[in-house]
Amino acid sequence: MRKLYDYFKKTGFLLAVCCLLTSSSIWAQSQYTFNGTVTENGTNAPLSGASVFIDGTSFGTISDFDGNYSFTATLEQGSVTLSISSLGFTTQEILIDLSSQTITTNVVLVEDLLSLDEVVVTGNPVGVNKRTLGNAISSVKSEDLVNNGAIAVDQAISGKITGALVQQNSGDPAGGISIRLRGPSTVLGNSDPLYIVDGIIISNSSNSNDLVDLGGTSQNRLVDLNPNDIERIEIIKGAAAAAIYGSRASNGVVQIFTKKGRTGAPKFNFSTNVRVNELRKEIDYNTVPLAWVDPFDRTNLETVPVERFNLQDEFFESGFGIENFLSVSGGNEKTSYYISGSFLDNEGIIKNTDFQRIGFKTNITQKAWDWLEINAGLNYTRSVSNDIPNGGINAAYGAITGFVFSDNSINPNPDESGVYPVTSLLVPRTNPLEAVDRFDFGQKVNRVITSIGLNAKITDKLSANYLLGLDFFNQSATAFIPINNTSPNGDGFARRADINNFQYNSDLNLAYQTPITEDIESTTTLGGSWQYEEFDRVAIEADGLAPVVEVASDGSILAQGETRSQISYWGSFLQQSFSYKDRLYLNGAIRLDGASTFGEDERNQLYAKASLSYIISEEDFWKNTFGNAFNTFKLRGSWGQAGNLTALSAFQRFTTLNPSSINGTPSLIPGTQQGDLDIAPERQEEIEFGFDAGLLNNRIGIEFTYYKQDVTDLLLPRELAPSTGFGSRIENVGDLENEGIEILLRGAPIKTNDFSWDVTATFSQNENVVTRVAGGGQFALAGSFATSFVIEGEPLGVFFRQFYARDPDGSISLDADGFPFRGTTDDGESSKVIGDPNPDWFGSLINEFAYKNFKLRIQLDAVQGFDVFNWNRRLLDNVIFGGGFNVGQELLGNRPKGFGGAQAGIFEEFVEDGSFVKLRELAFSYDFKPPIKGIENVQLSLVGRNLISWDDYSGWDPEINTAGQSNGVRGFDFAGVPIPRTYQLGVNVSF
């Protein structure tokens, strides 16, 4: 921290020096007013939010709700280019002669379904037109991030991007979400993309599970960002595009841009909404009013009458939520600002759970001189959650864990003295009602994300930008189970754990753009980056608590621990692009990268990329032949390399001795895992190619991409001969592959003055194979009850366990007593691959209808061809626990007593097809301008999220992963909270 302090001190000083030494020149200037209206081609509807700017200056504004714009600019005499752009429309550039003081220009923008003219910066330090890129890039605009019932950015983009599998792992009010771009690219690390917000590399860690075990689920820290503050998101999905991010980019890059102010009077935006979250469906349970006298004896069919309870009623309930958001933005020629404040409170469908987020966001841009712009961003968030533990990969105290083990013939309600009955008779598991009533778990996060940036246009050809970005959070988690309870922690449990996470990046990029000949233009970019991240974690855990007191220091200490980590990364790159006549673009880059985690000799790694984009439709021959039908056709291809560091912790390369003690003397004992001083990052090499096509006067747009990723030097635990003195060593000894296609289809079938209909469909298919696992060929992933495996030649995380013995016709064999039994393979093995949690394909269909001021948006998401391991059913249907539907069937004599118990040892039974189609978003809105002065627009909206799911899954919801954001353990349903159905009513006022 000292270093940073010095840094600020010195930077401040240096900046002051800069300022003093700089003199701005004076030209002959006068003031002009620009105004006009922007409308949409076809419908002639006013287009709000279009940006109207004078090229090469910061003069400009955005159009209001009636499509009108107006701004003044101080300019030299002559002519200027007015550039009018809006996401989803072809940018128009209009040459304007500065002949009068007021210039009125009405503009009609044409819809551009391929967004070829969109300016993107991800993968390129200076903004480039999307048409120049040799790789696919996806973007999401602000309207698509709000009014959809989602509370977090990753949740909101679900289904909106090809190649991005967004999986919500838990239905908790801030349940964790995994995003995988083009499949998993590591085994031991995580496959999360690199998240960059306004140039700041931010943490999306999912560490709450390390702090306090909520049953496997944990929040991921992207939840601290408010989707309302976001202007747009750009996503690149693999090494081919991401090479300039080097050693951290093999999972792709998600670049988030927050809203900035625009020249003009302050514009206010206020929105408020209320919501209801509810359980979408209840699972069937045992309603038969009988119980076995001896559940263990298959031959004893004697029963006694009992009352059965619906335990799901006891811990699920509808949750309510409220969200308020206020922003103001504006500015003058020199300064622009964006300020927002927000409050969210979202209750979960498990009793006594909620998530609260308070956020403040400020973006300021100051034009120091014509050539230098300074911008600063500050984002403070406080996220607080009240949690109830559920799921149980390591911890067994969860509410739903209690439910799946419970015999529902026991009334779960407490007696007169408040004592909750034990509902799990065989093993100590919590009475679920007691868990939601008495347990007190929670997390608090205080987070600051801030940056200072400089953009300099040094000459017409040379520009530079510098950014210092900083992300700090403290996360504090607590767990409290009072004494005298039904959980496995009968004498109470308290834990407190904190993490302080700090990271910054300091980036400088220089770009030199120059024409070489009349037709060829060159852009050279040189960049350097320094990045650092550290965390300190402490925890204390106790049992044997005194009554009432909740702090861990009060009980008898079970465990205490502290961990510290520091990593630095450094890198520099050179990128060269050439463009020929706006139709052919060539791009190559090379990056040298280092990180403190690698072995000394592997410190500096080289990554390269090359790409080509060819807009054939610009050629005359094309225009003359297919031109009418295929009015836009772009071919693109690219190749690139990137690294992945997530499998490597700060000090992983060392062989360490663990501290211990005996007889009061300190000792050190070597761990069984040996370090590897030559450890290197995992590397990805990707090739992708595809095309963008616009048909029928751009009424239909198609994007197609094929890609193949080869990840080599995969870090795996390599088994060692015990005669080395160790058991294993993490080494670069694996390979994996991802191969797939992505298709995006956009169409505007109907576009009239009053009515329009837009359709977007996405389709993504990825095939993942772990192609090499040195030293053994397979191993079980931690945290999967030894069920999810890494097996050479199979996709990551396949389920590998016992299966049914089958008759020659494929039906399940039954023994003499009518019970199924386990099979063996031809090799005599009792386990085989019984399921794959990776989907065959996923996609979405979005229909948007607009009739006058009414809008209807319907989004269907599909994830098909993946398996879910239903651990819940394995327990519920076992007669020795007694709460499941099939135990009732056994009691009724519809299947043999103990059938579910026989199945419990045959894991194949519980691997279910998770394929689903969900009505993800249904949004209906109405815009109007009330006759109140000053109010520009009011929007009323009614939104539904996750309203319907079409699936054959027997559990609550196949979209679940109790292993949380785990990379390899997927499709794991063990007492996790299902994703709720949400209804939301909102009002948005602009003034």
Footprint of other proteins on residues 559-578 (CB under 8 A)? 562-568, 570
* Interaction of residue 785 with other proteins, rule CB under 8 A: no
Is 786 a residue that touches other proteins (CB under 8 A)? no
Strand 30-40 with 102-104, pairing:
parallel
Give the DSSP H/E element, type plus range, for residue 966.
none
Stretch that binds other proteins, among 240-248, 455-463, 626-634, 935-943 (CB under 8 A): 455-463
Q: Which of 388, 650, 715, 798 binds other proteins (CB under 8 A)?
A: 650
Phi, psi of 248 (to 5 degrees): -120, 10
Window 105-134: residues binding other proteins (CB under 8 A): none
DSSP collapsed to 3 states, 559-603: EEEEEEEEEEEEEEEEEEEEEECCCEEEEEEEEEEEECCCCHHHC
Among 287, 672, 697, 753, binds other proteins (CB under 8 A): 672
Residues 569-628 that bind other proteins (CB under 8 A): 570, 594, 596, 603
244 is an interface residue for other proteins by CB under 8 A: no
Q: Residues 536, 564: contact at Cβ < 8 Å?
A: yes
Among 65, 530, 622, 704, interactor with other proteins by CB under 8 A: 530
CB of 516 to other proteins, least distance (A): 23
* Between 301 and 538, CB nearer to other proteins: 538
Nearer to other proteins, 201 or 445 (CB): 201
Out of 322, 546, 668, 892, the only residue in the binding site for other proteins (CB under 8 A) is: 668
Of 31, 310, 413, 724, which lies in the binding site for other proteins, with binding defined by CB under 8 A? 724
Question: Burial of 14 by CB count in 10 Å (0-12 exposed, 13-18 middle, 19+ buried)?
Answer: exposed
How many residues form the binding site for other proteins (CB under 8 A)? 73
Q: How many CB atoms lie within 10 A of CB 68?
A: 15
- Residue 875 contacts residue 887 (beta carbons within 8 Å): no
When the beta carbons of 230 and 468 are compared against other proteins, the nearer one is 468
Neighbouring residues of 171: CB distance < 8 A, sequence distance ≥ 6:
348, 349, 957, 960, 976, 977, 978, 979, 980
List binders of other proteins among 674-713 (CB under 8 A): 674-675
Nearer to other proteins, 322 or 458 (CB): 458
Determine, following the binding rule CB under 8 A, whether residue 512 of this chain makes contact with other proteins. Answer: no
Instruction: Give residues 360-399 in contact with other proteins (rule: CB under 8 A).
Output: 369, 371-372
- Our CB check for other proteins shows the closer of 110 and 657 to be 657
Q: Does 673 bind other proteins (CB under 8 A)?
A: no
Helix locations, 357-414, DSSP H: 399-405
* Closer by beta carbon to other proteins, 465 or else 886: 465
Q: Which of 528, 599, 747, 823 binds other proteins (CB under 8 A)?
A: 528
Sole binder of other proteins in the list 664, 810, 893, 931 (CB under 8 A) = 664
Task: Among 26, 95, 662, 816, indicate the residue that binds other proteins (CB under 8 A).
Answer: 662
Task: Work out whether 657 is an interface residue with other proteins (CB under 8 A).
Answer: yes
The verdict on 726 binding other proteins (CB under 8 A) reads: yes
Report the run of H or E that residue 242 belongs to, with start and end. Answer: helix 239-242
- Counting contacts by CB under 8 A, is residue 721 touching other proteins? yes
Which residue of 33, 660, 825, 830 would you call a contact of other proteins, by CB under 8 A?
660
What amino acid occupies position 548? V
Residue closer to other proteins (CB basis): 25 or 417: 25
CA distance to 176, 590, 799, 917, per residue, from 834 (Å): 27, 43, 5, 23
Shortest distance, position 381 Cβ to other proteins, whole Å: 26
Minimum Å distance from CB 781 to other proteins?
A: 19
Question: Is 458 an interacting residue with respect to other proteins (CB under 8 A)?
Answer: yes
For other proteins, the closer of residues 266 and 776 by Cβ is 776
User: What string of DSSP letters covers 462-516?
Assistant: EEEEEEEEEEEEEEEEEEEE-SS-SSS-TT-EEEEEEEEEEEEEEEEEEEEEEES
Distance in angstroms between the alpha carbons of the first and the last residue of the chain: 43
Q: Is the dihedral of CA 184, 735, 733, 685 positive or negative?
A: negative
**DSSP per residue over 401-421, as a string?**
HHHHH--TTS--S--TTSPPP
- What one-letter code names the amino acid at 601? D
- The whole-angstrom distance between residue 707's C-alpha and the CA centroid of its chain comes to 21
Binding residues among 425-454 for other proteins as defined by CB under 8 A: 454
| Burial track 538-559 (b if 16+ CB lie within 10 A, e otherwise) | ebbbbbebeeeebebeebeeee
Strand bridging mode 673-674 / 682-695: unpaired
Nearest distance from C-beta of residue 446 to other proteins, angstroms:
24
Tokens (6 digits) for 236: 């690149």
Near other proteins by CB under 8 A: residue from 78, 305, 722, 810: 722
Cβ atoms of 399 and 390 within 8 Å: the answer is: yes
Distance from C-alpha of 790 to C-alpha of 784, rounded to nearest angstrom: 12
Site for other proteins in 491-510 (CB under 8 A): 506, 508
How far apart, in whole angstroms, are the C-alpha atoms of residue 129 and residue 523? 13
**Interacting positions 22-61 with other proteins (CB under 8 A):** 22-23, 25
Task: Find the angle CA(213)-CA(833)-CA(955) to the nearest 5 degrees.
Answer: 50
By CB under 8 A, residue 656 contacts other proteins = yes
Q: How far is the CB of 170 from other proteins (least distance, A)?
A: 30
Q: How far apart are CB 530 and other proteins at their closest, in Å?
A: 4
Span near other proteins by CB under 8 A; candidates 335-343, 667-675, 730-738, 786-794: 667-675
Q: Give the footprint of other proteins on residues 285-344 (CB under 8 A).
A: none
Taking CB under 8 A as the binding criterion, the range among 3-11, 282-290, 808-816, 949-957 that sits at the site for other proteins is 3-11
Instruction: Work out which of 2, 3, 416, 828 binds other proteins, going by CB under 8 A.
Output: 3
Angle among Cα 516, 517, 521 to the nearest 5 degrees reads 50
Q: Measured from the CB atom, is 13 or 320 closer to other proteins? A: 13
775 lies in the site for other proteins, by CB under 8 A: yes
Q: Residue 981 is encoded by which pair of tokens? A: 């159905």
